[in-house]
Structure 1
Amino acid sequence: MAPQGKLQLCAALLSAVGLVVGQNTTWDHSLYTTSPPVYPSPNATGLAWESAFAQARNFVAQLTLEEKAQLVTGTAGPCVGNIAPIPRLGFLGLCLQDGPLAIRQADYASVFPAGLTAAASWDKGLIYQRGLDIGAEFKGKGAHIALGPVAGPLGRSGYGGRNWEGFSPDPYLTGVAFEMTIQAMQRSGVQATAKHYIGNEQETQRNPSLSPNNVTIEALSSNIDDRTMHEVYLWPFQNAVRVGVASMMCSYNRINGSYGCQNSKALNGLLKDELGFQGYVMSDWEAVHSGVASIEAGLDMNMPGGIAFTVPTPSFWGANITLAVNNGSLNVDRLDDMCRRIMTPYFHLHQNVNYPPIDGSEGDLNFFPLSSYVYNFTKGPSNIDVRDNHAGLIRELGAAGTVLLKNKNNILPLKAPKNIGVFGNDAGDLTNGLYSLAGGFASGDYEYGTLAVAGGSGTGRLTYVVPPLEAIKARARQDGSLVQYILNNTLLTSGSGFSSIFPTPPEVCLVFLKTWATEGYDRTTLLADWNSTAVVNAVAAYCNNTIVVTHSGGLNTLPFANHPNVTAILAAHLPGQETGNSIVDILYGAVNPSGKLPYTIALQESDYAFADITNSTALLETENPDAWQSDFTEQLLIDYRHFDYHNQTVAYEFGFGLSYTTFGLSNLTVRNVYAAGNISATPPRAAVVPGGNPTLWDVLYRATATITNTGRVAGAAVPQLYLSLPQLPGETAVTPPKVLRGFEKVSLQPGQSAMVSFDFVRRDLSSWDTRKQMWTIAPGRIGVMAGFSSRDIRGQTSFAPLS
């Protein structure tokens, strides 16, 4: 691409992402240009992992200085990240593999639904089972460490290229999905990696770049105030620490002026001190910009080990660690703590005993670090098939994560239509290979083929895919139905008459749209790709029963939502390899849709908080190394919190999703269940454990409600519990009108009722007090709202916890 073309493309990306998202009169940029120093890095104590910690301590005591340096520095090898073996101690090394939904580059492995789809299911059981199955596949291929799941990006901006890897812009929903996935993966025996810590909310300028005059322009700085950090972005990572996540991956971006992988406040202060994290912090690949400085700031493992990706290069660590210890610039005690942190999860998950060897079909994926750090890894048999019966879970979760947004006159489920039209380039099979569409960092410019998964390091290598068209054909054969189709979007929008192609008009027209997203790039529009609006309008002009299905790497605005001939809309997200079967199960009613939106769909792009754009051209042409600043001026008001605070009308609200039946909610009550009696505004002081002050997790109140299936068919309801918290005295950041604090999925037969309960721990009722530097329950009454979306509230009450 010509330089001018690159400039125009980057300008479009910047115009989409938006670096300053709003004007807040309380925001003072100068307060967030530096990150406070927090030293020294706290030593792990092995809390909750005592036996494994003792094994790790004994192992590290036997290491030479050179072996310690080797244990914390990545090397070349068969996996995307590698820690070299130490044969004399029987240690075979560590294999690190991408990613959050599949063991990315392996064969005979499954491609699961994306985190976005899992969140849209709002189904804790399926989310947990997904984690179990993913973990089992990583272990079966000999990977010790899975590079997932994802809670960063959280999804501050709908344009974020990696939002789909995570779960939801709501920190509570993400926190639940995050911790359940981690627990399940580690129960399977593989170490989970919580990533990307923290503030990694866009791809544009996530790494340093060179200006037109070859000046190094530093990576974007995410400038986040203390309260927003705790209540929004740190929230799910606190869940991860509490359930014992093995590893945290620090992010590429800067945080308040300091790089994420050498930010002592984020790593030493928040993570290891305040949250009591006992595992190790690994870098994202090529996110290390210093030696001793990053080590002292709390980084424990350097990946991939060398400074650059593509050629053997020096390392900031490696042999330089040995030099630093010998010349006194690095205390060996800090190095020992790094090694103990790395080895403790290894022993805790019994990876030293009969762990499967690395699949022999794995090529050398990691070519980059020092040639002197190349070691022979033990490989096992090749082409191990780890898929087991996981296709069933993938199909079920793909359907459960599909959200029915519109269903005019109950047109769905389909009732054996005899003449079906299928339209759109997302409906058919892949034409450029099973990995080329989503593999690597491809641009996504593959016109034909269904979008089962998006791109970048979070993708998966499809062993097979079930396209929607093939699944529809298979189902239609049961009914003797005719299936006709046009998959060429250009033809569909060219004005060619449908009557010349179809002998008779279809009874139902199914339009499949897709929206590409990938690591390394941010989206430039929230519309679906490939002239999607024109495609829908063209089909709807011909067919008065048009059903639209979107497969998307993020949220989409839907300008055709009110078209009278668009009778149904389904947001099917990224369902994985069984995508066609999952959508057919929904379309024909084999599965009653129960998915709910894990984000808000606005009426138009400009309605979102991140739509205020400034200085994109100036940033592209800057010679100022520190020019890229992203002030999180919206603070706590992201997604539905923003729309609620500004009382804005939306197309489809957070938590929304239709069913083929109806539900009622009644008898909402709240009671105090705190065994210790009176509740104080601040948590009683206690020794920090993984997850922070343990009293933050005390259950203080419990809400209950009755859910009833008031319709004619069986279905699953998702009752949601929201709290309206009082404003802390003296705090300037706006407290959102409501925040999610509970949800359950309950299956009910027609006429059946069930009681659901929601426990509120102290953190749920608290706000982060920036003056006291602790979680505090604000004085006043807390409003309780229960319903079936953030705006479909069926029951309300309140209580005063401090009275």
Structure 2
Amino acid sequence: MDIEELIRKLDLSTKVRLLTGADMWSLPALPEIGLERLVMSDGPIGVRGEQWTSADPSIALPSPTALAATWDVELVRRTGRLLAQEARRKGVHVLLAPTVNLHRSPLGGRHFECFSEDPYLTGEIGAAYVEGVQEGGVGTTPKHFVANDFETDRFTVNVKVSEKALREAYLAPFERVVRAGAWGMMAAYNAVNGTTMTEHRALQRDVLKDEWGFDGFVVSDWTAARSTEATAEGGLDVAMPGPFGPWGEKLEAAVREGRVSEEVVDEQVRRVLRLAHRVGALKPASTGSSTASGTASPAALSPGAGTAGGTADGTVDASGAGRTVIDGTALAREVAARSFTLLRNEDGLLPLAGVRSVALIGSAAAEARIMGGGSAQVFPDRIVSPLDGLRARPGVEVRHALGTDPRLRLAPLTCPTRALFLDADGEVLAEHPLATTEARWVGSLPPDVDGGRLAAVELRTGYTPGVTGPHEFSVAGVGAFAVTVGGETVFDAEIALEGGDPAAAFLSPPEHRITAHLTEGVPVELSVRHPAGAFGGMAFVAFTLGHADPSPGDDALIAEAVRAAADADVAVVVASTTLEVESEGFDRTSLALPGRQDELIAKVAEANPRTVVVVNAGSPVEMPWLEEVSAVLLTWFPGQEAGDALADVLFGDAEPGGRLPTTWPVREADAPVLDVTPVDGEVAYDEGVFIGYRAWERAGRTPAFWFGHGLGYTTWSYDTIAVTERTVTVAVTNTGTRPGREIVQFYLSPPESPTGSSTGSSAGQDGGRPARALAGFDVVDAGPGQTVITTITVPERAFQVWTDAGWATVPGDHTVEAGRSVADRRLAAVVSVRA
């Protein structure tokens, strides 16, 4: 494919048109050169596609923190291949993932969507993700480039960070995914050292493209491009969404008037066409099947299934030859179990043995929280709750008690729902089935809906109450709503947007509640109508009808849970964060579990000392009851197969394979780095490279659980270590009675300074070096009594620091240590580096 010849065939207007979204999720087709629409979709736990609706289901994998907790690059690579399979099934060419920002502060609201506090682990997991997706002929866009590590004022905040911290921490994962061959990169909303990232020539052109040799395309985060010349000259290649925005006619005019060189536009087009070739969307014009709405036509398959072939250069073969179908359900279950991290296991309570009765307690036990909020949201066609998973276990009686419900919002009803698209006269333009009472069409309406005639969207469903009493209903959204229950209008008013983040209209919209008295067994019809339309071809429909049964109140619910726990062999409490705590669009205000869950856990543990707490959260929470319970199992946001994976691990069919990718504090106040709130529009990364365990060690503080911590169901000895140049070999032995999996971690410490300290003590961003940093890891499996040998090569960058003159190797005797966590290092050896 001669891309230069294709560029010569295009006039300026056409070239510029190719650089801005044709709509919310795609770039336009150019049939004259064989270019199909290039379709993008949010990830990272699934592929939502162009329709933000349950009518188009997707496999829902565990959260990125869970993926990182596996420390298993091959497993992550396999999940990438599954995501590529899902993308091809949905006609998607580019996945807007993975997120390789860092866990700088545990208060980061989007913490769950990032991998780790450690740049090396983040880079290795991110690279495996990229490689897996792109092996399937689908592009990736690692994001958000760069220093987008919190949500508060994310559209406008300026991050002040030293060059050293950028290079050694925040840029490091991006550099790694570029080396892995990423085909795209997403520019962040925020500014870095005074320059908005979409305009940041020094980082986007000089570092990313020139220094690192990145040959992919740079796409803006949605609406992040806000200028014309500065973004074009600053290294941005595609401005999304479209067709409106700062480019289009404005960019064409800037070129014609000499304010932007046409060579800049040609380079942008070159990168887009290179991407199209890689994903199979650029074909000879004589055979191209492009239309205004056409994409490659993968077979219509159920979620998690599908085939499409590939060629050596990464393009898609629509025949489907050459690729093995991946069972998405099975892989989601495997990844979840591998990610579950056993933090505490007193007296070997887990795995459960000889247990006949389980008290399963918590709102998240019956309605699992499987994902975080925001653009990471997808709609699976099934969710296995912990209650489902444990009740499927033969020979075990499971009694569920709610205990307390920490959710501030009512959940949508999970029942067959009809979405009616209405014109101004109330005539039905189209009807679509939904699995829940949640309406979301962002960017595009269903193809059979005439956006020009659309005046309203109405959800209708039938509901049969299981209990008599005052039922709560809610409508969450922005704008005018009319709600009926049993034919009676119970709400007809406007709901106003709160706060300054426009994304909140669909990420966390305001909610209005209504109470209606219903009778057990008597069905009622429910509906909610909302004015809607398409403006300039763009649609925005996002609202939910929520519901909750009558409640006796938390005091009675907690008392019921305590009674259930006292009567059972084992109590399992599923404690969770909520959508109001972990989501895109805002940061956390506390690390405490929401509601009265801490009180519930303490009382259950008092009633039954054999209490297991399952923490269903994407990021750290405080655990004031830690010493009172027998076991703590962290399940992160575990994806759609949550319940089956939980049963597998609790009863020992699978080992909890996870290790912490981030340090967990005892108390929020103990965390060395917390700041996520801008002051005068800025957040200063004054801690420099000292984030995560590096900061904890420097501060001399002890967390609840260190980076890398995690228990299994067997024991291990670390036997020998040997070093040859930069290659380190370690022998470990499974000293337990059952097969197990160990994650061998390697940490490198720099030579001691003349003052005897490797960490340094001077103030400011660039004072000193961390005491140690992760420099390698490996996952090993062994049977009882079996010894296995693992070998890693310490990367050259681990021996380097950033200076005013660039990267410099630090000579001297570096210490490499192997162990089970950053605080549990078992073996040590010296790696000598010459000047």
Deviation at 1:353, TM superposition (A): 5.4
Aligned to 2:618: 553
* Residue 597 (1) aligns with residue 660 (2): yes
User: 2:93 maps to what in 1?
Assistant: 144
Query: 2:273–2:282: 8 Å Cα contact kept in structure 1?
Result: no
Structure 1 residues 135, 543: closer, same or farther in 2, change over 3 A?
Answer: same
2:599 to 534, 539, 544: 534
The equivalences for 1:291-330 within 5 A come to: 291-305=228-242, 314-330=244-260
Match of 2:377 in 1: 459
| Structure 2 residue corresponding to 1:70, chosen from 10, 13, 17 | 17
1:553 Cα shift?
2.2
Q: Which residue of the partner structure matches residue 102 of structure 1?
A: 46
What aligned pairs does 1:245-324 form with structure 2 within 5 A after superposition? 245-305=182-242, 314-324=244-254
Query: Which residue in 2 is equivalent to 1:715?
Result: 740
- Distance, in Å, in 2 between the alignment partners of 1:378 and 1:612 is 44
Secondary structure of 1:228's aligned partner: helix
**Deviation, structure 1 residue 179:** 0.5
Q: 1:350 aligns with which of 255, 274, 280?
A: 280
Opposite residue 703 of structure 1, the aligned amino acid is: V
Q: How does 1:44-59 map to 2 (within 5 A)?
A: 55-59=2-6
Match of 2:69 among 120, 123, 127: 120
**CA offset digits 1:77-115 (Å, max 9, x no partner):** xxx421011122221221111111111237242111111
Cα distance in 2 between the residues matched to 1:493 and 1:228: 49
User: Residue 651 of structure 1 corresponds to which residue in structure 2?
Assistant: 704
Judging changes above 3 Å, is the alpha-carbon distance between structure 1 residues 782 and 500 closer, same or farther for their aligned structure 2 residues? closer
- Cα 1:145–1:419, aligned 2, differ >3 Å: closer, same or farther? same
Q: Does 1:195 align with 2:143?
A: yes
8 Å contact kept, 1:99–1:458: yes
| Contact 2:662–2:706 (CA under 8 A) maintained in structure 1 | yes
The answer for the alignment partner of 1:575 in structure 2 is 638
The one-letter code of the counterpart of 1:652 is F
Within 1, Cα distance between the matches of 2:79 and 2:594?
29
1:352-402 CA deviation, whole Å, 9 max, x = no partner?
3599x99x9xxxxxxxxxxxxx95445858964241211111101100100
Once residues 504 and 70 of structure 1 are traced to their aligned partners in structure 2, the CA distance between those partners, rounded to angstroms, is 67
Partner of 2:576: 514
1:637 corresponding residue in structure 2: 690
Shift of 1:558: 1.3
Contact 1:151 1:167 (8 Å CA) reproduced: yes
Query: Which residue is 2:180 aligned to?
Result: 243
Q: Distance in 1 between matches of 2:593 and 2:132?
A: 34
Distance 1:734 1:486, change over 3 A: same
Distance 1:493 1:743, change over 3 A: farther
Of 86, 99, 107, the match for 1:159: 107
Write the distance in 2 (CA, Å) between the matches of 1:146 and 1:502.
45
Shift of 1:466: 0.1
| 1:471 maps to which of 362, 378, 389 | 389
Moved more, 537-546 or 576-585: 537-546
* In structure 2, C-alpha distance between the alignment counterparts of 1:594 and 1:503, rounded to whole Å: 28
**What SS does structure 1 have at the residue aligned with 2:144?**
strand
| Equivalent pair of 2:38/2:295 in contact (CA under 8 Å) | no
The residue type equivalent to 1:716 in the other structure is R
The answer to whether structure 1 residue 797 and structure 2 residue 809 are counterparts is: no
Partner Cα separation in structure 1 for residue 192 and residue 753 of structure 2: 25
Structure 2 residue identity aligned to 1:667: T
| Matching residue's letter, 2:654 | V
Provide the identity percentage.
31
Distance apart, 1:541 and its partner CA: 2.0
Structure 2 residue matching 1:248: 3-state secondary structure: strand
> CA offsets per residue over residues 63-87 of structure 1, 9 Å max, x none?
11111001111122xxx42101112
Structure 1 residue corresponding to 2:27, chosen from 83, 90, 93: 83
Contact between 1:728 and 1:778, CA under 8 Å: does it hold in 2? no
Q: Given that residues 636 and 734 in structure 1 are in contact (C-alpha distance below 8 angstroms), is that contact kept between their aligned partners in structure 2? A: no
Deviations 1:679-706 (A, max 9, x none): xxxxxxxxxxxxxxxxxxxxxx100100
Distance (whole Å) between structure 1 residues aligned to residue 570 and residue 264 of structure 2: 66
Aligned pairs for 1:343-742 (under 5 A) are: 343-352=273-282, 375-377=292-294, 384-388=301-305, 389-428=327-366, 449-475=367-393, 478-479=394-395, 481-489=396-404, 493-494=555-556, 497-498=559-560, 502=564, 505-516=567-578, 517-563=582-628, 566-611=629-674, 627-672=680-725, 701-726=726-751, 732-742=766-776
1:499 Cα offset (Å):
8.9
> Which residue of structure 1 aligns with residue 781 of structure 2?
747
2:118 is the alignment partner of 1:170: yes
Aligned residue for 2:60?
A: 111
Secondary structure of 2:336 counterpart? helix
- CA shift, 1:611, in A, is 3.5
Deviation by residue 1:299-326 (Cα, 9 ceiling, x = unmatched)? 11000035xxxxxxx4210112221221
Q: Which moved more, 1:85-94 or 1:745-754?
A: 85-94
3-state secondary structure, aligned to 1:427: helix
Aligned AA (1:487): L
- Give the Cα–Cα distance (whole angstroms) in 2 for the partners of residues 498 and 486 of structure 1: 7
Q: Is the 8 A contact 1:492 1:535 kept in 2?
A: no
2 CA distance for matches of 1:758 and 1:378? 43
The equivalent residue for 1:183 is: 131
Q: Is the 8 A contact 1:110 1:387 kept in 2?
A: yes
Runs of 4+ in 1 over 6 A off after TM superposition: 727-731
Deviation at 1:799, TM superposition (A): 2.4
**TM-score normalised over the length of structure 1:** 0.78
Corresponding residue for residue 4 of structure 1: none
Looking at structure 1, the residues matched to 364 and 742 of structure 2 have their Cα atoms a distance apart, in angstroms, of: 30
Larger proportion of helix: 1
Pick one of 780, 783, 792 that aligns with 2:812.
780
Does the Cα contact within 8 Å between 2:152 and 2:676 map onto a contact in 1? no
Q: Matches of 2:292 and 2:685 in 1, distance apart?
A: 44
CA RMSD in angstroms comes to 2.5
On the 8 A contact 1:73/1:83 being kept in 2, the answer is yes
TM-fit CA distance, 1:659: 0.8
Quick check: 639-648 or 346-355, which moved more?
346-355
Counterpart amino acid of 2:698?
A: Y
CA distance in 2, matches of 1:172, 1:613: 23
CA deviations 1:634-679 (Å, max 9, x no partner) are 111111111111221121110000111001112111112xxxxxxx
- Structure 2 vs 1, CA of residues 200 and 799 (structure 1 numbering), >3 Å: closer, same or farther? same
Which residue of structure 1 lines up, in the alignment, with residue 440 of structure 2?
A: none
Distance 1:65 1:715 in 2: 61
- Structure 2 counterpart of 1:482, which letter? E
Q: In 2, distance between residues paired with 1:282 and 1:499?
A: 50
Give the Å deviation of 1:727.
7.3
Q: Name whichever of 226-235 and 528-537 sits farther off.
A: 528-537
- Give me the whole-angstrom Cα distance separating, in 2, the residues matched to 1:610 and 1:554: 15
Q: TM-score of the superposition, structure 2-length normalised?
A: 0.75
Q: Any conservation in 1 of the 2:303–2:328 contact (CA below 8 Å)? A: no
Query: Once the 2 structures are TM-superposed, how far is the Cα of residue 252 of structure 1 from its aligned partner?
Result: 0.6
Q: Kindly indicate whether the alpha-carbon contact (under 8 Å) linking 2:111 and 2:619 is maintained by their aligned counterparts in 1.
A: yes
Measured in 2, the distance between the counterparts of 1:610 and 1:505 equals: 43
CA distance in 1, matches of 2:700, 2:403: 41
Contact 1:161 1:522 in 2 (8 A): yes
More strand by share: 2
- 1:41 corresponds to: none
Q: Spell out, residue by residue over 1:746-770, the C-alpha distance to the aligned partner (whole angstroms, 9 max, x if none).
A: 010000011101112211221112x
Name the SS for the 2:44 alignment partner. coil
